[in-house]
Copies of this chain bind each other. A is one copy, B any other.
């Protein structure tokens, strides 16, 4: 038995470790309790079910990505094109790093994201809203050409699927992925800036 009181954060970390070791199919609440050296009742006091526990794991990962993204574009003095570039490269880098360094856990996150589709949809909505806000700011400042921010934000995320959609996780091992992402971002920024002179 552990000395310190058991908190939710510690349980979520232990669950990540169990998922990493056993995979999403086999991981159980008993495994989590065993790793922590507590009874499974102690885990259930914080998370009423295995589903709730798994949801907490995916939510923490998504929350961290959200925090990173918010921080990346918070720096004062950035132009809107610079903010959009940062938003996208930070989003890609967070996923690439996870998929490369910890592919088992990343694969698990994918399973969990499909299981908890409400969390995943909320995350996509968050990403869309972030891109949309930068696009709208850029249109307001004249750095981007006039347009419908909702449509443009969807287009920007759609055009960068290869770099953020987990379906492409295998592509992220390629050494060319950084240069490819850079070329796409450059082309998109040119499109966003361009006057409709055609």
In the bound complex, residues from chain B placing their C-beta under 8 Å from that of A197 are: 193
In the bound complex, residues from chain B placing their C-beta under 8 Å from that of A33 are: none
Could you tell me the distance between the alpha carbons of A198 and B194 in the complex, rounded to whole angstroms? 9
Question: Which of A2-10, A55-63, A161-169 interfaces with chain B?
Answer: A161-169
Could you tell me the distance between the alpha carbons of A186 and B151 in the complex, rounded to whole angstroms? 11
Q: A167-B167, A168-B161, A168-B167 are in contact. Are A155 and B194 (CB under 8 A)?
A: no
15 CB contacts below 8 A, A to B, read: A152-B187, A158-B162, A158-B183, A159-B184, A159-B187, A159-B188, A161-B162, A162-B162, A165-B168, A187-B188, A187-B191, A188-B188, A188-B191, A190-B191, A191-B192
- Beyond A165-B168, A190-B194, 17 extra complex contacts between A and B, CB < 8 Å: A145-B190, A151-B183, A155-B183, A155-B187, A158-B183, A159-B159, A159-B160, A159-B184, A159-B187, A161-B161, A167-B167, A186-B191, A188-B191, A190-B196, A191-B191, A191-B192, A193-B198
